[in-house]
Structure 1
Amino acid sequence: MTGFRDVLAKLFSWWSGATIGTLFTVAKRGRLVGTDALGNRYYESRDTQSYDGRHRRWVIYEGYAEATKVSPDWHGWLHYTFDEPPTEDALHRQSWEKDHMPNMSGTPMAWRPPGSVLTEGQRPAATGDYEAWKPE
């Protein structure tokens, strides 16, 4: 039964990976340029049928389609900031730069400040600088 659901998901849903139509278009017109650490695959068109004569570039996400899963170096290549993909000419990183992380909002891995009702544990007690509002 799960196999049938997987086929239906491939046919009709874009949010859980590429659809059958997208995979067909990629096989016909695309050239795989590289893959990133999250498993996203980056493609470039074999022809230059875009309006400005450049090769069209796109990404097929691994799993859920979320734009923040694209790292800065691949983002620059997708938007023609860099001519060469990171697989050929890696983006120089400064020693103070942190690793790229996708947006984790809405997931269990989201950052929650101390005192948030969603944080585990006991909330700290209010200090003396808080005075409750009372209607008159």
Structure 2
Amino acid sequence: MLKRIFTWWNGATLGALFDIGRRGALVGEDEQGNRYYEERRPSIEGRKRRYVIYNGLAEGSRVTPDWHGWMHHTVSEPPTIAPLKRQRWEKDHVPNLTGTVKAYRPKGSLARGGVRQASSADYEAWTPDSGDRS
């Protein structure tokens, strides 16, 4: 309960839940359990604000491409009404895994514990004994 009151990164705070529940209407939910809302009345700018309440960690990369388009007013209909047409070559959405156990660690990465191969572009420190006086 205290997490809900004081932390925004573990989903929405109680204040945000109250405010969105009062002004918005639930539009849909994605496969990760994130819930999407839209204001009932347009704002001063003339369009309705849209909100996401994350299921767990509040990380923007967890919003799938179809819901991202709706959130940013790129498409007018939410994916619950007009699903985004998937192409054969498209991969499934994967959130940003940086900082997690599943993060990409290339060869030579310190996180992988390896030493990378030498490169022709590597820096070579100058020493006074090298004989080059230019």
Query: The TM-score by the shorter chain falls in which range?
Result: 0.7 to 0.9
Rg larger for: 2
* Structure 1 match to 2:2: 8
CA RMSD between the two structures: 2.4
Q: Give secondary structure in 1 for the equivalent of 2:112.
A: coil
Tell me how many residue pairs correspond in the alignment: 127
Give the direction of change, closer, same or farther, for the CA distance of 1:55–1:112 in structure 2 (3 Å limit).
same
Divergent runs of 4+, >6 A = none
TM-score, scaled relative to structure 1: 0.81
Q: Distance in 2 between matches of 1:58 and 1:27?
A: 11
Q: Distance in 2 between matches of 1:125 and 1:43?
A: 47
TM-score, scaled relative to structure 2: 0.82
- Unaligned runs of 5+ residues in structure 1 are 1-6
Residue 74, structure 1, aligned to residue 63, structure 2: no
Picking from 25, 30, 33, the partner of 1:39 is 33
Shift of 1:109: 0.7
* Structure 1 match to 2:19: 25
Shift of 1:81: 0.7
Q: Distance in 2 between matches of 1:107 and 1:118?
A: 11
Q: Distance in 1 between matches of 2:116 and 2:36?
A: 50
Deviations 1:100-123 (A, max 9, x none): 111111111101112323227xx4
- Please tell me the residue identity of whatever aligns with 2:23: R
- Identical-residue share of aligned pairs (%): 51
